[in-house]
Structure 1
Amino acid sequence: MALASPPVRADRPVLVVGLKDAVWRFPDGTLRRLSHGEAMRLARTEVPLLCHLPAICRRLKSERFPAFDILELYAFVRPASFCLPTPTGVAQALGLVPPGPSHPLQPERQAEVLRACARALLRELSTLDRKRWRVRGLAETMARHGWAWGDAVLNALPVFEGRATPGNAVWEDLPEWSESAPQPQADSIPVTAAETRERLRRLLGHDSEDRPSQADYASSLAPAFAPRDNADEPHVVLAEAGTGVGKTLGYIAPAGLWAEKNKGPVWISTFTRHLQHQIDGELDRLYANPALKAEKVVIRKGRENYLCLLNLAELAGELGQRPLDAVAFGLMARWAMATRDGDMAGGDLPGWLPDILGQNRTVGLADRRGECVYSACPHYGRCFIERSVRRARKAEIVIANHALVMIQAALGPEEQNLPTRYVFDEGHHLFSATDSAFAAHLSGQEATDLRRWLIGGEGGRRSRARGLRRRIEDLVLDDARGLELLDAIMLAARALPGDGWHQRIADGLPGNPSEAFLGTVRAQVLARAPEDRAGYSLECGTQPVDPRVLETAAELDRALKNLQVPMRELAQRLAKRLDTDADVLDPQTRLRIEAMARGIARRAENEITAWREMLGSLKTETPPDFVDWFALERSDGRELDVGLFRHWRDPMRPFAEVVAKPAHGIVVTSATLTDGSGTAESWGGAEARTGARHLPKPAFRVRVPSPFDYPAQTRVMIVNDLARDDMEQIAAAYRSLFLAAKGGALGLFTAISRLRAVHRRIAPAMEEAGIDLLAQHVDAMNTATLIDIFRGEEDACLLGTDAVRDGVDVPGRALRLMVFDRVPWPRPDILHKARKEHFGGTEYEDQLTRLKLKQAFGRLIRRADDRGVFVLLDKAMPSRLLTAFPEGVEVQRIGLQQAIEVTSRFLQAHVSAETAPMV
């Protein structure tokens, strides 16, 4: 029986911080404007209610201080629930202000709203009826360790009589998965164009608007779902669909139909994890019944994206020694109770929670280093990762990302459930995803990761890293030779970089062969790289190689051989057990042995073999298919990594062999497969970037233009009276254009330093105008959260680099102006130089640049009623690149003053038309 809870109080001082000053609301309702210094001093004597403590501390230039962060309370009361991490966003999620794109509230109003949000959340908590006893147990733990909200939350929660303290083991409440029989091979019944059109019509509904371009697009994909004629000859369709065609439903129609007819999976792959969930939302049309959808559709990601229950349990066990982790544990445990699938990257974990609690205490609880103990884990039967893997084996539609597809395909015979049909959305990113997947890096970070995977946590430091001995020692206890090999591996692994390697090599005091090699590589880079790159990453060619590098490379190769040999033998002995002990191994142990043997062999054969080959090439020359170089990676003057790097000149060659040829049909689709030039080289470039040119059968080419009236809906201007390297002039242009548009602007930059310089100069003017200015690499929020806020606040402005350009999808007035600081030429590094030579010189470089411009412009207009202005602040823009913009769009080369006038007039006319009274 629950006892009545005492009244809830949320009367706290409230703090709202702007760029110039702050607002403090006293408990009696008095409001006062304060300087940042005054606000900081008051915040350290009181414990204020606020929103997003890290962002406020950054604005105040302060260390963290005790506070009632409304986001912590929201995450506790509504776990796995989305809200924007702003006072307006929280209020919208709670229904206290109208939903949808909004104008920012004044600071005084934000203070009132925060107080109302706190009261509403505590009232909601008092009505909680699901798992109340477990929730109270978590709250008691958090309160005992000093959580600011602890007393208020406990007052709001009922107390239960006659029940023991519930404890924190939320993993015990999760459902268990079960094994099932292997799925039969899929059939090869084709999907026709007519069937595809009919399926699309049903998905859209009988009363939907007629969209002939979408139907044409969908039906053109049918060849990829026909039976292939010969082995290693997949049907490939390259489909460029302009913005507004309805690409996602267009490919879902034939994909879902083929999966249904053939009882086999279609893998839909996209570039980002966020887009995976957008596709999942569209699949509601195909599977309207949520239970059926849960059976037929699975989102697959790498293991490093899911919450590891063993890590969460170990965090709980450490709270006695680490009380500051109690709040993070409690909020992550609340999320684990409510999450759909344990996905922490793009799933239902709020993107702002890692900002609030710290990366290590949130996304760091994933299996990020491949240290899973599989069936030896007490939580194996409830594991989110294992459940996802098993669901995918029975699903009709698997929504994956490009990186996972590359990894799965590269495993080859190890992966028994590879699909025969793929759809690669965001196909213009396929080249870069493949490039990353098939590269080899013999660097300090990569080698340290291998050492940690083998040895685990070292030096008495608190660490959840589980080494190889902990993971497999019980599997070789009865094998004397296996134990000897394990000891040999542990000893040899100490030749890899250990904690503190950065400082040791900088001081010239390496501690082992790998650190000695990295030290000589660093010296060669510093000696040969340009001197005008102070603070930025540096690189140089490997040849002619410094004799000191050759000497340390030979020593490192010997050390790697000493590690590789016992790893190979141990992997072989484990694999042999699957045969010799077949009659006594239970299924879970068998799967565990198989996984461990694969993991050890993969690192010995793929990773270490690649490193040794790279070291060997230093004595001779790099094989013609590859590009090698030395690099010292730095950020803000701080050294992050150093090493020897190898990439394929053309990474689509391995893609064609390990991904495309085993498949029967592939769709590669994007709004920007070609560069818009209309030349013969345009499709040739697309075939090179997608790997189609390495396949024996020619690809089907499809182009469906956008239905939007770009000449009427957009204006494109190149400002020709600015010095592009004068940051005062560039900042003035951004400020004036943003103010002319009255917000709703996205500023794109080719360098982080330029972004920060502009932000510093324009932020005060934006705040004076009441326009919220967001900035990647400046604000204490991740990129996805910044984009969410930008999308949710109609008049906000956002500054960002490539990650923002690729991730933003903002229909409506929230994005009405896009300003690019200069022509986005490819970075002229060693790898680009080699690829420029390999793929066709200047035309290749132009294609890449046109594609970046085309992709950026494509983000501006997302709906038929959108209006937008695109401005490039670089008078050096060559006319040959203007085909990146849609046909019929006039590109004006004008001065800044005229560009400001055009922007204001064009966008204001659109607002006037929207608000004009109907006659």
Structure 2
Amino acid sequence: MPVLVTSGDKSIWLTADGEIAEESLAETQRKASDASPLLVHRLATARRLDLAPFTAFDILELFAFTFPARQCLPTPRGIARALDLPVSDDLEEQALSLFSAVNLMLEHLTKLRGKDRATAAEIAMTMGRAGWNWGPSVLAALGMPSETTPLGGLDIWKKLEEWPDFAPDPPPDDEPVSENEARERLKELLHEQAETRPQQAEFSAAASGAFIPRDQEGAPNIVLAEAGTGTGKTLGYIAPASLWAEKNGAAVWISTYTKNLQRQIDDELDKLYPDKGQKNVRAVVRKGRENYLCLLNYEEALQGGVARAGEQIILGIVARWILATRDGDMGGDFPNWLMELIGAGRIMRFADRRGECIYSACPHYRKCFIERSTRKARKADIVIANHALVMINAATRPDDPHLPKRYVFDEAHHLFDAADSAFSAHLTGQEGSELRRWISGSDTARKGRMRGLEKRISDILGEDEEGHDALQQAIQASRRLPHEGWLSRLGDGTPNGPMEDFLLHVRSQVMARSGQPDSPYTIECGATEFVPGLDEAAHGLENALGDLSKPLTTVSKSLLNRLDEEADELDTATRFRIEAAVQGLARRVNTMINPWQSMLKHLNEPTPENFVDWFAIDRTGGRDMDLGYYRSWIDPTIPFAETLLKQSHGAVITSATLKDNTGEEDDDGWQSADFRTGTSHLVLPPRRTHLASPFNFKDRTRVIVVTDVRRDHMRDVASAYRELFLAAGGGGLGLFTAIWRLRAVHEAIRTPLANAGIELFAQHQDALDTSTLVDIFREEESSVLLGTDAVRDGVDVPGRSLRLIVFDRVPWPRPDIKHKARKKAFGGSRYDDRLTRLKLKQAYGRLLRRETDYGVFVMLDSMMPTRLTNAFPPDVEVLRLGLKDAIALTRNFIAEKENESRKNKVDMTL
């Protein structure tokens, strides 16, 4: 087969005869579809060539089969690096390396022995018969299977081990961790050659204050710590946290906002647990259950998909991963690029995304990844979770004895937004449709076990006639909620049921009162002064929800009665099923139906104090996705503090960007930190500590505000991006306040950057997810990455790969109804300034991740107020320059620092 490698504006073909030819992308476009080449990531290649997906031998599929649950970058260099092959920048060498990579992987398969070989061969046979183009080569390496099962080896659950059960643990002790103990543990974690960081030891000692016994109920020991970039805060808090867990026999939960940081913390724990077996027991990564593969969903897809060839190929790749995965987390060791190649929807259908688990009634319960992870977390020392999971658990399971009492909240500058999501109420069509499906099952003819509560819990109601009658009443009542096709019916003005009727009136009001009803983005209006008929529709929906809430509550009581009355007869598995069912019912009644009823009942009254209400049509790219009635806390840290912080015994709340430097003499910045983290609502004030970054920002960075680029003239903005990236020779991160601005710049600079040999990657443009794009950007020193907020918050790129950040304009908050309410409550324009400074501070902090890093931060907005420049370190001068001078300064500063780096390397060699 020929090999195809593309980069910039050209491609390299390596023919089956060994000839190498260089072509333009236009020439490649004409023949790629007919060539069936060997390449890396066929979808990304097709998008680069502006083609529909075409048949190809994608080496990533072979890698996923050969090394399941193993990560690699989806590039030729990434494949070479993962297989310990020579890594080259030369495209011809990259093309040759793909042949070497294929041979190496096939050779690896020939070395499989015993059951591993037999299982792989049986799966490969099934995939090959279904048309997998790698099938013949893989079977040639493995040999034909000696026998096959009726399901072609895809019934992989039979080969999994059951999780072990344990006796309940005794209550944890509460021995403190002293500052000296924290410092000593930190020394143990650091190897002898580790960089000396006095701030890290100070941070670790300060963090130990969260691991001493509290003195009164509702008054946890909180440590609020701002630790500048380079402090080493991860190991700094792991030290006292791990020591407390070992002393007291209970887990400390480390909560983050991004999956990227979860992964980084997990990597850092290798220093605490160098033995993989020990780490597997002592440390657990926890996410919401919708992230884990459900074996029953997989089995059902297999039963329904055995006759469809394409499905068997997908199921085969997933089967290989199931046998190799650490914990079944489809957002963990399941390669992101594999999700893209197969299709996220076709993969995530294997997860329990609708809350329809049947627990111990499931034939795979004893092998369930979710149950295994839950039980491991109860026996672990360190649990790495995320803000959303931690908050939802605290809000919906306040009496759960397994809830942690000690936390570390990293990326704490995101706590406000995470609490906003966790404690808000959305009475929307999508939420109603999901609730209907959860109760009564699917309305379509598609097969599957997801047929509602009756199929899931009727057996555990036992002989309770009242419970069974209430269940049927709930099912009938749920059918008044939206069902499939509801958005189309609302568009046609033909609602079906009281909730769709209410939503139709909401839609009419938003369309009538929004300033831009034809906007391709989300539109909204106030929930007041209603259009005719909306009051009556709200009253009808309130009654319908009452008809649903009452029987669901009765079902829950019936289950609780059975737990009580048959306590001496119920086996453990049945008890767990009943408890899980009660928890699921309570969650939907208490966090969905009851709040919706309250919102509708008091619709004509003033919005309750501390809340903001609005109507909205949620749009993406001009397409309506959802609509409804929304309610949020004006200050969502109030419920966060009540339900979680006050129930805990101690917490470390930390970030590199907690304080806000307003420049005013009477403001030390901690007021902002207290406000954004909820510590202002506690009885006792937190222990506050600030540790400055050890980096020399004045010497290693430059900050420029360009004064002569018109921010609303996209041609000028694109030209500025182009010339700045060229001046830096790549290594640039372009940040944008809107997706449409990113797309405009991407289109304008793609060709000139390609002509200069600079690879351009872009969020929302490339057929790669954000984390994969960041990983590629980190490895490719002369590439450029364009992105929005997710990139700004998730980038951790040390070294030369990031030496320039360009921001298109000041990232002011979006002036929607929710923000207006908060702005009014929290200080007007000062609130806007605070949020914007924190965004700038976070973006600027991406430049230096190590002491030897350097870079330039450029703002293409001449209207940036001086008061916002307090976001940058006080000793860093903010230069206001024209574009010509900004380009020259960028080129010269980066060249100067690169010369210094080369000189230092030579000196070290000598």
User: Which residue in the other structure is 2:86 paired with?
Assistant: 97
Over residues 706-750 of structure 1, what are the superposed CA-to-partner deviations in whole Å (9 max), with x where a residue is unaligned? 000000000110000010000000000000000111011100000
- Which of 699, 710, 715 is residue 712 of structure 1 equivalent to? 699
1:329 and 1:361 in contact (8 A); partners too? no
Corresponding residue for 2:172?
186
Query: Counterpart amino acid of 2:37?
Result: P
- Correspondence 1:739 to 2:726: yes
1:63 corresponding residue in structure 2 = 52
Does structure 1 residue 304 correspond to structure 2 residue 290?
A: yes
Aligned partner (choices 82, 95, 99) of residue 111 of structure 1: 95
> How far has the Cα of 1:206 moved from its partner?
4.7
Distance in 1 (alpha carbons) for counterparts of 2:668 and 2:322: 51
Note the 1:35-434 alignment, pairs <5 A.
Answer: 39-98=28-87, 104-106=89-91, 108-129=92-113, 131-159=116-144, 161=146, 167-206=153-192, 208-345=194-331, 347-434=332-419
Give 1:688's aligned residue: 675
TM-score computed with the length of structure 1 as normaliser: 0.95
Instruction: Answer yes or no: is the 8 Å Cα contact 2:461–2:558 preserved in 1.
Output: no
Mapped contact 1:412–1:658 kept (Cα < 8 A): no
Contact 2:538 2:600 in 1 (8 A): yes
Choose which of 891, 904, 910 in structure 1 pairs with 2:878. 891
For residue 33 of structure 1, report the CA deviation from its aligned partner: 4.7
State yes or no: 1:508 paired with 2:493: yes
| Change over 3 Å in CA distance of 1:289–1:110 after alignment to 2 | closer
Find the aligned partners of 2:807 and 2:153 in 1 and give their Cα distance: 54
Is 1:786 the equivalent of 2:754? no
AA at the equivalent of 2:319? A
Contact kept? 2:464, 2:558, Cα under 8 Å? no
Q: Match of 2:839?
A: 852
CA contact under 8 A between 2:294 and 2:352: conserved in structure 1?
A: yes
AA aligned to 1:912 is: N
In structure 2, do the counterparts of structure 1 residues 528 and 19 end up closer, same or farther at CA, with 3 Å as the change threshold? farther
Q: Partners in 1 of 2:248 and 2:149 — Cα distance?
A: 53
1:3 equivalent in structure 2: none
Give the deviation of 1:289 after TM superposition: 2.6
Query: Per-residue deviation at 1:677?
Result: 3.3
Contact 2:703 2:876 in 1 (8 A): yes
1:629 and 1:721 mapped to 2: Cα distance?
Answer: 39
Cα separation, 1, equivalents of 2:337 and 2:361: 33
Deviation at 1:759, TM superposition (A): 0.2
Deviation for aligned residue 1:597 = 1.7
Letter in 2 for 1:192: S
* 1:622 maps to which of 602, 607, 622: 607
Q: Take 1:548 and 1:37, find their aligned partners in 2: how far apart are those partners?
A: 58
8 Å CA contact retained: 1:440, 1:610: yes
Cα distance in structure 2, aligned partners of 1:539 and 1:409 = 31
Q: For residues 813 and 331 of structure 1, what CA distance do their matches in structure 2 show?
A: 36
Deviations 1:53-104 (A, max 9, x none): 2212223333322221111111000101111011221121112224xxxx75
The residue aligned with 1:866 is: 853
* Distance (whole Å) between structure 2 residues aligned to residue 784 and residue 392 of structure 1: 26
Offset of residue 47 of structure 1: 2.1
Partner of 2:825: 838
Distance in 2 (alpha carbons) for counterparts of 1:751 and 1:882: 22
1:726 maps to 2:710: no
Moved more, 140-149 or 542-551: 542-551
Say yes or no: does 1:454 pair with 2:443: no
CA contact 1:675–1:854 (8 Å) conserved in 2:
no
Letter in 2 for 1:118: V
Give unmatched runs, 5+ long, in structure 2: none
What's 1:484 paired with? 469
TM-score computed with the length of structure 2 as normaliser: 0.96
Q: In structure 1, the residue corresponding to 2:250 is in which secondary structure?
A: coil
* Deviation larger for 601-610 or 154-163: 154-163
> Which amino acid in the other structure matches residue 421 of structure 1?
R
Q: Give 2:593's aligned residue.
A: 608
In structure 2, C-alpha distance between the alignment counterparts of 1:97 and 1:496, rounded to whole Å? 59
Counterpart-to-counterpart distance in 1, 2:576 and 2:448: 27
The corresponding residue for 1:820 is 807
Post-superposition offset of 1:167: 2.3
Is the partner of 2:344 in helix, strand or coil?
A: coil
1:292 Cα deviation after fit: 2.3
Q: Go from structure 1 to structure 2 and tell me whether the alpha carbon gap of 1:139 and 1:161 turns closer, same or farther (over 3 Å shift).
A: closer
Partner Cα separation in structure 2 for residue 503 and residue 532 of structure 1: 17
SS at match of 1:849: helix
The answer to whether residue 576 in structure 2 is matched with residue 591 in structure 1 is yes
2:901 aligned residue? 914
Which residue in the other structure is 1:809 paired with?
A: 796
State the Cα distance separating 1:308 from its structure 2 match. 0.7
| Residue identity in the other structure for 1:758 | V
Find the residue that maps to 2:63 and give its secondary structure. Answer: helix
What does the per-residue CA deviation read over 1:265-307, in whole Å, with 9 as the maximum and x for residues that have no partner?
Answer: 2111111122112112112222233222222211111101111
Structure 2 residue matching 1:863: 3-state secondary structure: coil
Q: Secondary structure at the match of 2:748?
A: helix
Q: Is the 8 A contact 1:676 1:885 kept in 2?
A: no
Cα–Cα, structure 1 residues 812 and 605, in superposed 2: closer, same or farther, change >3 Å?
Answer: same
**How far apart in 2 are the matches of 1:410 and 1:822?**
38
Distance in 2 of aligned mates of 1:675 and 1:747: 24
Pairwise CA distance, 1:681: 6.1
How far, CA to CA, are the matches of 2:147 and 2:294 in structure 1?
Answer: 33
Give the match's secondary structure for 2:673. Answer: helix
Secondary structure of 2:670's counterpart equals: helix
In 2, are the aligned partners of 1:536 and 1:636 still within 8 Å (CA)?
yes
CA shift, 1:532, in A, is 7.6
Partner in structure 1 of residue 761 of structure 2? 774
Identify if the C-alpha distance between structure 1 residues 462 and 209 changes in structure 2 by more than 3 Å, giving closer, same or farther: same
Instruction: Confirm or deny: 8 A CA contact 1:94 1:117 kept in the other structure.
Output: yes
Deviation at 1:422, TM superposition (A): 0.9
Distance 1:310 1:105, change over 3 A: farther
1:497 aligns with 2:482: yes
| SS state at 1:441 partner | strand
Mapped partners of 1:160, 1:105: distance in 2 = 40
Q: Is the 8 A contact 1:66 1:148 kept in 2?
A: no
The number of residues matched between the two structures is: 902
Q: Give the equivalent residue in structure 1 for 2:459.
A: 474
Q: Would the aligned equivalents of 1:715 and 1:869 in 2 still touch at CA under 8 Å?
A: yes
Give the counterpart letter for 1:608 in structure 2: I
Structure 1: unaligned runs, 5 residues or longer: 1-11
- Range 14-23 or range 798-807, more displaced: 14-23
> How many angstroms does 1:118 deviate by?
2.0
Supply the distance in 1 between the matched residues of 2:484 and 2:815 (Cα, whole angstroms). 33
Give the Cα separation in 2 of the matches to 1:546 and 1:767: 54
Identity within the alignment, %: 52
The 10-residue stretch of structure 1 (112-121 or 259-268) with the greater mean CA deviation from structure 2: 112-121
Q: Residue type matched to 1:244 in 2?
A: G
